[in-house]
């Protein structure tokens, strides 16, 4: 984790401002003092985070507690507190570790739209690998973690060649990020409620039986067309929605005055 601080921090020799960081952020960036001698040989911050992620993947986010993680590692709960001050700090580290850094490194994308499409697909892939992440509320500390910062920088790099002012670039990233998170959460909820299936079988027929032949003319037209049962799958819905979001950004970019 500390390596990311050196790679993404200030230029060598530049003064680093002193900022009071939440414990989880200080740990994520390697700016918190770690125990020199652990109470259990082999216990480390990295192992604690990995154990927490393992529990979240196998038993769900609700299974993650300092006690359960300690038991997973064969250590005492008090031993964990020497490395991680609180469960919230552990969750912060778990989410950022699960997200990971952008897998393509510094490889440039072919234009802002292709770059943002790649960025959105990358975030979505991380959510699909670790859907439990979606159950952790988004907070200030999470946004300051190293991998989150790397993803934000990647998105802004995609938009760097556009005439949008910096505030609108950030707003554009928030828009795309919100779409991806909402789509991933909705997809996970639907899959969970339908036994892992991506859609809801017989949805159109059930809706038709409920509303009857009168009323709701627009809905009845959609049912008659078969659209409610013609499931394009989650990937198709994601591609459609992302394309419409990027269409809107393209209109904004084209209308923005050149600097």
Task: Compute the distance between CA of residue 239 and CA of residue 241 in angstroms, rounded to an integer.
Answer: 6
In CATH, 112-255 is 1.10.357.10: yes
Predicted confidence at residue 199, as pLDDT, reads 54
Question: SS3 string of 182-230?
Answer: HHHHHHHHHHHHCCCCCCCCCHHHHHHHHHCCCCCHHHHHHHHHCCCCC
To which residue do tokens 């991998």 refer?
A: 147
Return the pLDDT at 257.
86
Q: What is the pLDDT of residue 49?
A: 97
* 2-99: in CATH 1.10.10.60: yes
Nearest-Å Rg of the Cα atoms of the chain is: 23
pLDDT of residue 196: 53
- Which are the contacts of 16, defined by CB distance < 8 A and separation ≥ 6? 9, 10
Q: Which of 42, 41, 39, 50 is nearest to 80 (CA)?
A: 39
Give residue limits of the domains in the chain.
2-99, 112-255
Residue 151 CA to residue 143 CA, distance in Å, equals: 10
Q: What is the pLDDT of residue 194?
A: 64
pLDDT beneath 70, residues of the chain = 1-18, 34-41, 194-201, 230-232, 259
Long-range contacts of 245-251 (CB under 8 A, 24+ apart): 245/175, 245/176, 245/179, 246/113, 246/116, 246/117, 246/176, 249/113, 249/116, 249/172, 249/175, 249/176, 250/113
Task: Report residue 113 as tokens.
Answer: 């739209």
Residues 6+ apart with CB under 8 A from 90: 24, 48, 49, 52, 64, 66, 69, 84
**Residue 2 confidence (pLDDT):** 38
């Amino acid at each position: 984790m500390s390596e990311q601080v050196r790679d993404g921090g200030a230029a060598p020799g530049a003064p680093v401002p002193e900022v009071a960081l939440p414990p989880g952020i200080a740990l994520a960036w390697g700016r918190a003092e770690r125990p020199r001698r652990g109470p259990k040989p082999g216990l480390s911050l990295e192992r604690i985070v990995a154990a927490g992620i393992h529990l979240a993947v196998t038993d769900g986010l609700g299974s993650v507690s300092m006690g359960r993680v300690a038991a997973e590692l064969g250590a005492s709960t008090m031993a964990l507190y020497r490395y991680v001050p609180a469960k919230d700090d552990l969750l912060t580290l778990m989410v950022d570790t699960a997200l990971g850094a952008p897998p393509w490194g510094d490889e440039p994308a072919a234009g802002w739209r292709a770059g943002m499409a790649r960025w959105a697909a990358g975030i979505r892939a991380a959510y699909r690998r670790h859907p439990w992440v979606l159950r952790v509320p988004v907070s200030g500390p999470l946004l300051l973690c190293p991998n989150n910062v790397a993803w934000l920088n990647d998105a802004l790099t995609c938009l760097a060649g556009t005439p949008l002012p910096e505030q609108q670039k950030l707003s554009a990233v928030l828009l795309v990020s919100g779409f991806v998170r909402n789509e991933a959460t909705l997809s996970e909820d639907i899959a969970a409620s339908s036994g892992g299936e991506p859609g809801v079988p017989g949805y159109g027929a059930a809706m038709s039986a409920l509303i009857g032949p009168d009323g709701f003319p627009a809905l009845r037209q959609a049912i008659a067309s078969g659209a409610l049962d013609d499931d394009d799958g989650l990937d198709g819905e994601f591609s459609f929605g992302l394309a419409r979001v990027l269409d809107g950004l393209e209109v904004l970019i084209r209308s923005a005055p050149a600097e």
